[in-house]
Structure 1
């Protein structure tokens, strides 16, 4: 089969021919990949940022946002059958460790992470397990929802965690209306009562944010001007700020955009937070990290998607055009999410 594999860090992955995966265990599921998302994490993987954390064996297949149709299942699998349309939770969790027992799949002690530390979905076939697959409403097509498996799930997870803080009269500020942020805006509109303000450097992204439910938008120009405008629009700063960028200064500007006792949700990454401890203490502000969401978060998100309350804005590329997709993402030319679609076997 055809697959896009990373052979060396700081070099572009290549389109290779590799053997098809096979069923080796009772809980295995093999999926015909219908679509796989392109994520900024993939850029960080290529740069080697994840090597110290995950230590993947190179070469391996990238792609951790995957959807498709079930081709084959192991002997113990009963929740899906060949032909079912599915989206995959990013992790293949074990179901037995302490984290899994309380539904925190993202912290499974025995998980693999396709596309991060084992072969992922930038390929014609993907091997996963029964605990990772979510059967989809028949109306949903893989190319329209694949990136919700990570970008959507991560964006939704942060909003879901903050929902009890965002009651009527509160203000949420979203920094970055791109691949993650445009989903976070929709999640905020769907499950909270907060007034939503979106900050982005792209006028096109802000136009999209307004269509998706933002009440106010702020063009990210000079930092002092941005802070003043956000403070004015929100009447003193955000109760909860969602930083879907996490680098290039957004991670530290956040303190100027939230009010005392406000929450800074860190979702994007790549930067470094530098904050005087006296400020954190005196203002009683909270800095909260967010990993990818749980299996149940993904089920909830797919329910909202089937109801038409969350839609993914995408640009589709053939699998063989992976280099073009990577270049467009890196240069900031993508509005929404890049999707790789492999040919069917």
Structure 2
């Protein structure tokens, strides 16, 4: 089969011929319908060495947002049958530690919460994906794997980031989403579906993404900068927003997030831009909690799929055949993907 693999650090990945994996006991082979191209893949491609605590060894198949159809069951696997449409939970934990037993495999105490294309396992930018345990598969029902794949990260990460702050978002509250790309678009829809926030504000540097944010449920769409800070302060009577989600994570966006947040609010860093939040006695505002959540739990992915089935959230996707995977990543790097680029090896 063909697989898009990172072969050498800081070198472009290669589309290579590799053997189709054979599922062992408890494992499942999935025929990939869709694999989302994520910004975190770009960070991996550009890294000079594996990220700290990451056991990844080269060559390595990229892709951690995966959905498809069951191809073959390993010995002992029950509950699934060939051709079942499934989505693959990404952060593969040990299944035995306290966090995993609560469904929080994204915070597995053995792996540090890194797996499923990020921690030494081959990902889904290939024709087939070997899933190490059937518990990582969730039935998709009538959802199309080629459309649903980004729910495993863009959807789940946004859901987890919003859910932890829902108690702050009562009537009259405001939430700001900085970055209106794939993650931000999902966050806006999840805020609209789950919260009672009166005002949802999208902030971005691109007017086309702001237009999309408005169509997906944002009440205000602001160009990034000082004027956006002033507008958020004005609409919140100079108090700031109860929740600020930074889906970018660069120095300028984090400075802006600190200015837009309010005392006793939440400032949540989701983006992997590598910036530093200015922290002193007055920044962020007093008792504003700062968190950097990672991905989401397995039960939360079940919730996200339910929202998608109810058509309360949808990911804007642009499909690319596997032969054009490098082009898809370049367009992502250049900021030319509106929602999510999804690689479709079977099309």
TM-score over 0.5 for the pair:
yes
Matches within 5 A, 1:54-93: 54-93=54-93
Matches within 5 A, 1:39-58: 39-48=38-47, 50-58=50-58
Aligned to 1:38: 37
Matches within 5 A, 1:317-336: 317-336=320-339
Query: What is the CA distance between 1:208 and its match in structure 2?
Result: 1.1
Runs of 4+ in structure 1 deviating by more than 6 angstroms, as ranges, are none
Unpaired segments ≥5 residues, structure 1:
none
1:121 aligned residue (102, 124, 138): 124
* SS at 1:260 equivalent: strand
Q: Is contact 1:122–1:340 with CA below 8 Å preserved after alignment?
A: yes
Q: Deviations over 1:187-245 (max 9, x none)?
A: 0000101121111111111111111111111112xx32221122123333110001111
Q: State the alpha-carbon separation in 2 of the partners of residues 285 and 36 from structure 1.
A: 36
Query: What is the CA distance between 1:110 and its match in structure 2?
Result: 4.4
Query: What is the CA distance between 1:323 and its match in structure 2?
Result: 1.3
Aligned to 1:169: 172
Go from structure 1 to structure 2 and tell me whether the alpha carbon gap of 1:74 and 1:340 turns closer, same or farther (over 3 Å shift): same
Q: State the alpha-carbon separation in 1 of the partners of residues 284 and 258 from structure 2.
A: 13
Q: Name the TM-score, length of structure 1 as normaliser.
A: 0.94
Go from structure 1 to structure 2 and tell me whether the alpha carbon gap of 1:92 and 1:76 turns closer, same or farther (over 3 Å shift): farther
Go from structure 1 to structure 2 and tell me whether the alpha carbon gap of 1:304 and 1:160 turns closer, same or farther (over 3 Å shift): same
Query: What is the CA distance between 1:161 and its match in structure 2?
Result: 1.1
Q: State the alpha-carbon separation in 2 of the partners of residues 134 and 37 from structure 1.
A: 17
Q: State the alpha-carbon separation in 1 of the partners of residues 33 and 214 from structure 2.
A: 30
Query: What is the CA distance between 1:248 and its match in structure 2?
Result: 4.8
Unpaired segments ≥5 residues, structure 2:
none
Aligned to 2:156: 153
Q: State the alpha-carbon separation in 2 of the partners of residues 311 and 281 from structure 1.
A: 33
Q: Name the TM-score, length of structure 2 as normaliser.
A: 0.94
Matches within 5 A, 1:264-279: 264-279=267-282
Matches within 5 A, 1:175-190: 175-190=178-193
Matches within 5 A, 1:187-206: 187-194=190-197, 195-206=199-210
Query: What is the CA distance between 1:281 and its match in structure 2?
Result: 8.1
Counting matched residue pairs gives 340
Q: Is contact 2:151–2:315 with CA below 8 Å preserved after alignment?
A: yes
